[in-house]
Amino acid sequence: MITADNTVNAAVDVWTVARWDYRAHVVTNALSDRWRRVGWVSAAACSDQAATVELCAVCPVASECLAAALIIEDPAPLRAGHTVRDRLVLWQELEDAAWADDPELYALLSPTGQMRPDR
C-alpha cells in the first residue's frame, strides 16, 4: 500500500524489489537470467562444492541467493538453505502479504495486471 507520505508498505516493497531489482540487474548487465551467471555467485559458499543446509547457514551471499532463486524459480534442490518447496511457500507468503495489504496495488504490479481472485 502506498501511504500518504509516498512510502510503500514493506510487504509490497519486498515483493516489488525482489522481482524488479533482480530483473533490472540482469538486463543492465546483459546477463542470462540463469542464476549461475550472476556476479556474486563466486562468493557463494557452494561455488566449489555441493550446497548443504550447513553450508548455506554460513554463506556470505545467502540473501542474494534466496532472492535470485525466488525470482527465477530456480529448480535446484537447495538454495540459501531452502528447498524448492520452502521457496514456493515463501514466495506465496510474500504474494499473500502484498495481496492482503493492497489488492489494487497488487494488480498494478502483477505480471498479468489483473486482480487476484480470492482463494
- How many angstroms separate the CA atoms of 96 and 63, rounded? 21
Q: Write down the pLDDT at residue 95.
A: 73
Q: Write down the pLDDT at residue 2.
A: 43
- How many angstroms separate the CA atoms of 80 and 103, rounded? 30
Query: What's the pLDDT tens digit per position in 5-62?
Result: 544 444 445 556 566 666 665 555 555 545 445 677 888 899 899 999 999 999 998 8
Average pLDDT over the chain reads: 72
